[in-house]
Amino acid sequence: MITAERKPLSEIKEMIAPYRKVLVVGCGSCVAECAAGGEKEVGLLASALRMDARTEGRDLEIKEMTLDRQCVYEFIDQLTEFIDQYDVVLSLGCGAGVQAVAEVFPRAIIVPALNTTFVGETKEAGLWVENCRGCGDCKLGFFAAVCPITGCAKGLFNGPCGGSQDGKCEVDPDTPCAWQLIITRLEESGRMNLLDKVYPPADWSKQQGRGPRKIVREDQKI
Amino acid sequence: MDQKSAGLKITIFFCQRIDADQDAHRRPLEKELGSQIRFFPLPCSGRIEPLHLLRALESGADKVYVVTCAEGACRYREGNIRAKKRLAYAQGLIEEIGLAKDHLELIHVLAGTTTTIAQLAEELLAREAFVGPLPVDAPGQERQQRQL
């Protein structure tokens, strides 16, 4: 899941200040799960912006919409009949959603209401934790499904570093030591032999350095 | 000046478990005060969402109360604790747009007391009007000038 947090209202207001008609568009997928950009959050932000405008005596017209997914053309297409009627689109999608909408409607003005943060999981109600860096070279199979790149502050493939205390990371005592988790799980599942191997550094060229990454699947094309 | 005399528009979200006959008890007050008071019974105060609170203010309420049972007395264990957190979140949102957080207020009914929602509402209306009318007109609605 891609997580995000709402920008401060002052920043959002500054971006939409030149415009009178605002289309506020949420996304019902990842950012709804992390309570940043779903239907409820669209309603909250629209309500706050309307009240703020009335408090300041400004004329502001807002329409609220939430797409099932803001990063897929078939869903973005639902904006087609409305987009020309509004001066600006305030997107509560992740960065991918904002850019996808802008690509479909290149002449429209699209601005983000969220700061996209990380790929993570919902640990419990109200708590989301990063657990994947999207490195493009997943090694979870060797490390008992604990990512040492994301979970270990030092990103060690051949840990532990020796600095952890009581199973917690020396960099942040609130964070469990990823290598403690790896070793405990490997022990419990009888796979400690996986640590006999020395793992080479990650191939970072799969993550960065070549511009935007692409996935091409001929079998998925129409 | 009390909130009733000041003409403040009051919205009360409340856990309907605090008054088994809330429907009958609130009717006379609704008839007397008309649009000055609006009641929203909830199956549990934990059902409240920040969106309900903002929509209430946006629709013209000057003061929104969320009335819950006493802490530790929720039939569903944590409903009133959740209500408290959500109200605090909504207070943060309205402060971001420059409104006083006191436009939203949580009221815990004291443990062991038996009260009707009408009695409770009368007590709230008799309170000093510390916050004035919300400087936000509901759409298409001219707010009357009210002096505090």
- Closest CA–CA distance from residue A38 to any residue of chain B (Å): 12
pLDDT at A208 over 90: no
Rounded distance, CA B40 to CA B43, Å? 10
B54/A47 touch (CB, cutoff 8 Å), yes or no: yes
Question: If interface means Cβ-Cβ distance under 8 Å, which residues of chain A face chain B?
Answer: 8-10, 40, 43-44, 47-48, 50-52, 54-55
Per-residue model confidence (pLDDT) at position A203: 87
Nearest residue, CB atoms, B137 vs list A8, A9, A54:
A54
Rounded distance, CA A69 to CA B33, Å? 45
- Residue A15 belongs to what domain range? 2-118
Question: If interface means Cβ-Cβ distance under 8 Å, which residues of chain B face chain A?
Answer: 49-51, 54-55, 57-58, 93-94, 96-99, 135-137
Q: What is the CATH number of the domain that holds A92?
A: 3.40.50
Q: What is the CATH number of the domain that holds B61?
A: 3.40.50
- Closest CA–CA distance from residue B58 to any residue of chain A (Å): 6
Q: Specify whether A26 is located in the same domain as A106.
A: yes
Residue A155 included in any domain: yes
Which residues of chain A are within 8 Å of residue B57 when distances are taken between CB atoms?
51
pLDDT at B110 over 90: no
Question: Percent helix, strand and coil across chain B, each rounded to 5?
Answer: 40, 15, 45
Residue A174 included in any domain: yes
Closest residue in B to A9 (Cα–Cα) = B96
Q: Specify whether A139 is located in the same domain as A72.
A: no
Q: Specify whether A137 is located in the same domain as A31.
A: no
Section B39-60 average pLDDT? 96
Residue A194 included in any domain: yes
A47/B55 touch (CB, cutoff 8 Å), yes or no: yes
pLDDT at A4 over 50: yes
Confidence of residue B144 (pLDDT cuts 50, 70, 90): very low
- Closest CA–CA distance from residue B28 to any residue of chain A (Å): 31
Count Cβ atoms within 10 A of the Cβ of residue A72 and give its class: 0-12 exposed, 13-18 middle, 19 or more buried.
middle
Per-residue model confidence (pLDDT) at position B138: 58
Please state the ipTM of this predicted complex: 0.86
**Would you say how long chain A is, in residues?**
222
Q: Specify whether A19 is located in the same domain as A104.
A: yes
Q: Helix axis angle, A39-55 relative to B50-58, nearest 10°? A: 30
| Tokens 């999981």 found at | A121
Q: Specify whether A14 is located in the same domain as A86.
A: yes
CA atoms lying within 13 Å on the CB side of residue B89: 17
Number of domains in chain A: 2
pLDDT at B135 over 80: no
Residue B95 included in any domain: yes
* Cβ atoms of residues A98 and A110 within 8 Å: yes
Closest residue in A to B90 (Cα–Cα) = A44
Q: Specify whether A158 is located in the same domain as A74.
A: no
At position B100, the amino acid (one-letter code) is: A
A51/B57 touch (CB, cutoff 8 Å), yes or no: yes
Rounded distance, CA A27 to CA A182, Å? 35
- Closest CA–CA distance from residue B98 to any residue of chain A (Å): 8
A54/B136 touch (CB, cutoff 8 Å), yes or no: yes
Confidence of residue B139 (pLDDT cuts 50, 70, 90): low
B135/A52 touch (CB, cutoff 8 Å), yes or no: no
pLDDT at A49 over 70: yes
- Residue B85 belongs to what domain range? 10-125
Per-residue model confidence (pLDDT) at position A9: 96
Residue B49 included in any domain: yes
At position A133, the amino acid (one-letter code) is: R
Q: Specify whether A160 is located in the same domain as A196.
A: yes
Average model confidence (pLDDT) for chain A? Answer: 95
Q: What is the pTM of this model?
A: 0.90
B51/A43 touch (CB, cutoff 8 Å), yes or no: yes
